[in-house]
Amino acid sequence: MTAATESVLLLDGADVDALASVGLGLRAAEEAARTAVSGAAVTGRVQVNGPVAWMRILAGTITPLDVIGYKQFHRVGDHVRYHVHLFRESTGEPIAVVDGRRITSLRTSATAAVAARHRLGDRPVRLGVVGSGEEAWEGLRALAGALNLESVDVFSPTEANRLRFAERARTELGLAATAVGSSPEATRDHDAVYVATSSHHTPFLTADQVTGVGWLGLIGSTMPVHREAQGEVFLAAAEVVVDTPDSVHESGDCIEAKELGWDHTAAVLLGAHLDAEARRSGMTVFKSVGSVEQDLVLALHLVHAARAEGAGRQVPSVASLRVMR
């Protein structure tokens, strides 16, 4: 096949939304977690910060899946755009270009839900959610698909937002959800807590607020300036599980924890954690910043689903081919 006759599958935001089931997300997340510890992936990332915008690129190759690709996302003001490019590793041929907005929230939530399921199993779970945006909603959706949720308490600083979130959880997911008036009411003495906020610079979650918590998912702090939990929360954990080694260096929460004496070398990668016996006491902290494996594996699962359902558009590739001597 020449470059002129190559084609690529385009999946836009509407396609991804239609294909992005909880089950698909959970399967992709578990496969990505195990891939990350198998040695089968080679990955890298770069962050470029300009005076008015920033861009991050996460690239990788996964030989057993015959895929090489990257996710790009950039922010200008309050606008963020994402997309994922996939190619066949064995030939270099383009596979797909996938809208990455939903991929980002789905892979994060599904990965956290896989971690929570390992710790909590199928017993009834009292869940607390801190946050009311897209990431928090995607997290609740994934956790509802992975766990036996008995009740949900949700807190967000804006009352209208938390009331709306709780009502949506009741009507769309059939959950016993309640909006509460403070962060500790959504955290303390809960079986599981999912924190998904856009908090910057000042952490709000203290060790005292997570007493009695079995599993704590922290997904909002993905850069040094992003802060959700004070470093003392990591010191209070019986174990810390991370989705990627980059978590301990890139998250502001982890950086402060290390400054306070937390031994980040004891953190366990999720893929290895899934093969170990689940802890039955103490608090498990799951820290996520996202990984290349998660993005590429989820995008590939979406491509397979799209082909099975006839979704998306197959268009000629715009990439020209050069044969190197």
> pLDDT, tens digit, for every residue of 155-209?
999 999 999 999 999 999 999 999 999 999 999 999 999 999 987 778 999 999 9
238 within 8 A of 282, measured Cβ to Cβ = yes
Strands 284-287 and 239-242: parallel
pTM of the model: 0.93
Backbone dihedral region for residue 213 (phi beyond 0: left; psi -120 to 50: alpha; all else: beta):
beta
| 324, pLDDT greater than 90 | no
pLDDT greater than 90 at residue 5? no
Kindly state the average pLDDT of the residues 224-237: 93
H helix and E strand count, the chain: 11, 15
**What percentage of the chain carries pLDDT values higher than 70?**
99
User: Once rounded to an integer, what is the mean pLDDT over residues 47-55?
Assistant: 94
Contact at 8 Å (CB) between 98 and 131?
Answer: no
More confident residue, 211 or 202: 211
Residues of the chain with CATH 3.40.50.720: 108-287
pLDDT over threshold 50, residue 106: yes
Which segments of the chain belong to CATH 3.30.1780.10? 3-103+292-316
Instruction: Give the pLDDT score at 319.
Output: 78
Task: Out of 3.40.50.11540, 3.40.980.10, 3.40.50.720, 3.40.50.970, select the CATH number for domain 108-287.
Answer: 3.40.50.720
What's residue 2's pLDDT?
Answer: 45
Q: For 79-89, what is the mean pLDDT?
A: 96
**Residue 101 structure tokens:** 């907005």
DSSP strand pairing (239-242 vs 67-76): unpaired
CB 245 within 8 A of CB 288: no
Whole-number average pLDDT of the chain: 94
**What's residue 202's pLDDT?**
87
Q: What are φ and ψ of residue 276, in 5° steps?
A: -100, 160
Amino acid at 283: M
Q: Among 3.30.1780.10, 3.40.50.11860, 3.40.50.410, 3.90.700.10, name the CATH number for the domain at 3-103+292-316.
A: 3.30.1780.10
Residue 118 and residue 144 in contact, taking contact as beta carbons nearer than 8 Å? no
**Mean pLDDT to the nearest integer, 290-313:** 97
pLDDT at position 4 is 54
- Taking a C-beta distance cutoff of 8 angstroms, is the pair 188, 233 a contact? no
